[in-house]
A and B are shown apart, each in its own frame.
Chain A
Amino acid sequence: MDIQFEQVGYTYQPDTPFAFCALKDINLTIKEGSYTAIVGHTGSGKSTLLQHLNALIKPTAGVVKIGDRLITTDTPNKNLKEVRKEVGIVFQFPEAQLFEETIEKDVAFGPKNFGVEGEELKKVVRDSLQMVGLDDSYLERSPFELSGGQMRRVAIAGVLAMKPSVLVLDEPTAGLDPRGRKEMMGMFYDLHKEQGITIVLVTHLMDDVANFADYVIVLEKGQVIKQGLPKQVFTDTQWLTTQQLGVPAATTFAQQLMARGFQFDTIPLTTKELAQEIAKILRKSGEQV
């Protein structure tokens, strides 16, 4: 299911002194089965854009196409459930959305709203909890007695349990420890690879973008200022620095090597690529000697 933005604009509180234009003339496509990363400053409109992906807010200008559904300014609030089932959003600090007495009930809440019942519901809950690394012993516990990181997992399981075909992640690892971060990102990547789930990731961590994403959209002041493959976006490091966006650690390191005379065929984005490039260069220089 593709998601397409055509000249989408969004203004908060229009016609008041508080009116604020968060998005202007956005044109982009999130392809089915892709792993798209959206980067940009705080306040560049990323979160506003996210909420358009499942019609939580409707554009004040332009059209959002979610699969076959057209969402415009006049789209009524009825019958948007199918859209929300297809596009699951994990918001920033999703642990704030937990409310049921037991973890089982909380994870089941989403699928239940979409009409999943009985044995299927139980299975879905167990499977999703397992995916986020929590075993069945957690089922009967209260979500409020868990640690912050575990609450995050339960909340994410609650979204995964809806079996969305598009998964939107708004800084899913903010405030997690390095290990938790790695596990979580790995889990999302596996979902993407194995089940073909489309993933939209909003993040400030360029390393995550380099490691996982196959498409990058750069937002600034509510406008798309660049989009393309990670290679294309990260090639112009100077431009990224003027936009005050980082570059992946591997790329920074590669640049420092380049300043000392190394020549790379392609700019490496990940540690793996960097290692391969260096190995290549070493091999070459070995042959020359």
Chain B
Amino acid sequence: MMDKMIFGRYIPGDSVIHKLDPRVKLLASFYFIGIIFLCNNWQSYTLMFLFTLLALSLSKIKPSFIINGLKPLFWLILFTVVLQILFTRGGEVYFKWGILSVTELGLMNGIFIFCRFVLIILISTLLTLTTPPLSLSDAIEYLLRPLEVVKFPAHEVSLMLSIALRFVPTLMDETEKIMNAQRARGVDFGEGNIMDKMKSIVPLLIPLFVSSFNRAEDLATAMEARGYKGGEGRTKYRVLKWQSRDTLTALVFVVLTVILVYVRN
């Protein structure tokens, strides 16, 4: 069911991007998404596209695979772009019908929105494709730590995050298993009218919740038995290391920003 969806998955690899510190990758992705909104002409978008393509090619992930991964989001993008084109007014009018109109500004906006969408999806896909979920949660913990000053439970949040990430595949397997078991008992998932569909979810959801409760209880017991008492005084097994390539990445982003500010109107 989720076969086609690559958004949010990790593909093991050995590229430069894979080896970057997850903190850099996480911050850089957010930063990149932030500066996309600075773009306001085709030169700036071209610049961003070139940069993204460079990053993608450095990751050594098959392009066809990334394109396939974008397909499920195609309708969402198309929908937004069409709305933009039909409802934005300004500049030369090419076509008009009732409240719908295709104008110069509308077309421009549509194209820009399209570019933004694709860029954001590409860069966040690149982040998750090249970073193991656990490294990502380590990075989040590190970046949240300053907030402990204002009593923010950084350790607990990151613990929950890493447990959640760890159990995503397990729960997916479990879902698949229970679905199969219920299908073998004659349930047709995704068939009939909307009421039938909703009813058929019950034999899937209840066992899933029940098993999650059981799992949570078992996990908590196992953690306590192994001496877990909370975040205070714990040492770390995976230590994040900042290397020269990470500094370099940061520099690249500074250069990118400078050029971007230069080329935008």
> When chains A and B are docked, how far (Å) is the Cα of A51 from the Cα of B184?
9
Known contacts: A84-B186, A97-B185, A113-B185. The answer to whether A17 contacts B180 by CB under 8 A is no
Q: Top 6 A-B pairs ranked by shortest CB distance? A: A113-B186, A99-B206, A110-B185, A97-B181, A89-B184, A13-B3
Q: A88-B184, A144-B210 are in contact. List 15 more A-B contacts (CB 8 A).
A: A15-B68, A16-B6, A17-B65, A56-B183, A81-B186, A81-B188, A91-B181, A96-B177, A96-B211, A97-B207, A98-B207, A99-B206, A99-B207, A162-B185, A162-B186
Give Cα distance in the complex from A162 to B182, angstroms. 12
Residues of A near B210 (CB, < 8 A) are 99, 144
The reply to whether A16 and B3 contact each other, CB–CB distance below 8 Å, is yes
From 176 to 195 in chain B, residues with beta carbon under 8 angstroms from any chain A beta carbon are: 177-178, 180-188, 191
Distance of A89 Cα from B179 Cα, bound (Å): 13
Most chain A beta-carbon contacts within 10 A, residue among B6, B185, B207 = B185
Which residues of chain A (13-38) have a CB below 8 Å from chain B?
Answer: 13, 15-17
Q: Which residues of A contact B (CB under 8 A)?
A: 13, 15-17, 51, 54, 56, 77-78, 81, 84-85, 87-89, 91, 94, 96-99, 109-110, 112-114, 144, 158-159, 162
| A91 adjacent to B185 (CB under 8 Å) | no
Contacts of B188 in A (CB 8 A): 81
A109 touches B184 (CB 8 A): no
Closest to B189 in A: A77
Check B181–A96 contact: CB distance below 8 A.
yes
Closest-CB distance, A3 to chain B (whole angstroms)? 15
A-B contact pairs, 12 of them (CB 8 A): A81-B186, A84-B184, A89-B181, A89-B184, A91-B181, A96-B207, A97-B182, A99-B202, A109-B203, A114-B186, A158-B185, A159-B185
Q: Using CB atoms, name the residue of chain A closest to B203.
A: A99
Q: Which of B113-135 touch A at CB < 8 Å?
A: none
Assembled-state Cα–Cα distance A77/B62 (Å): 32
Query: Are A91 and B187 in contact, CB atoms less than 8 angstroms apart?
Result: no
Chain A residues with CB below 8 A from B187, complex form: 113
A110–B3 touching, CB < 8 Å: no
- Cα A110 to Cα B68 with chains together (Å): 38
> Residue of A at shortest CB range from B181?
A97
Chain B: how many interface residues by the 8 Å CB criterion? 26
Q: Taking the complex as formed, is B172 at the interface, i.e. its CB lies under 8 A from any CB of chain A? A: no
In the complex, the answer to whether A84 meets B183 with C-beta atoms within 8 Å is: yes
Is there an interface contact between A17 and B62, defined as CB atoms closer than 8 Å?
A: yes
**Given the complex, which residues of A lie within 8 Å of B211, measured CB to CB?**
96
* Contact residues of B between 199 and 226, Cβ < 8 Å to A: 202-203, 206-207, 210-211
Chain A nearest CB, measured from B83 CB (Å): 32
Let me know if B11 is at the binding interface, CB within 8 A: yes
Q: Return the chain B residue nearest A51 by Cβ.
A: B180
CB neighbours (8 Å) of A15 from chain B are 68
Whether A94 touches B11, Cβ cut-off 8 Å, given contacts A81-B186, A99-B207, is: no
- Docked CA distance A77–B211 (Å): 28
Measured CB to CB, the closest approach of chain A to B88, in angstroms, equals: 38
Q: What B residues does A78 contact at CB under 8 A?
A: 191
Chain A residues closer than 8 Å to B202, beta-carbon distance? 99
B174 contacts the other chain (CB 8 A): yes
A56, A88, A96, A159: residue with the most chain B Cβ atoms closer than 10 Å:
A96
Task: Please name the residue on chain B nearest to A85 by beta carbon.
Answer: B186
Cα–Cα distance between A112 and B68 once the two chains are bound (Å): 41
From A94, A112, A113, A159, name the one whose CB has the most chain B CB atoms within 10 angstroms.
A113
Return A236 CB to nearest CB of chain B, in Å: 35
Give min CB distance, A148 to chain B, whole Å. 10
The residue of chain B having its C-beta at the shortest distance from the C-beta of A78 within the complex is B191
A54 to B186, CA, bound (A): 11
- List A contacts of B182 (CB < 8 A): 97
- Cα separation A82 to B185 with both chains bound (whole Å): 11
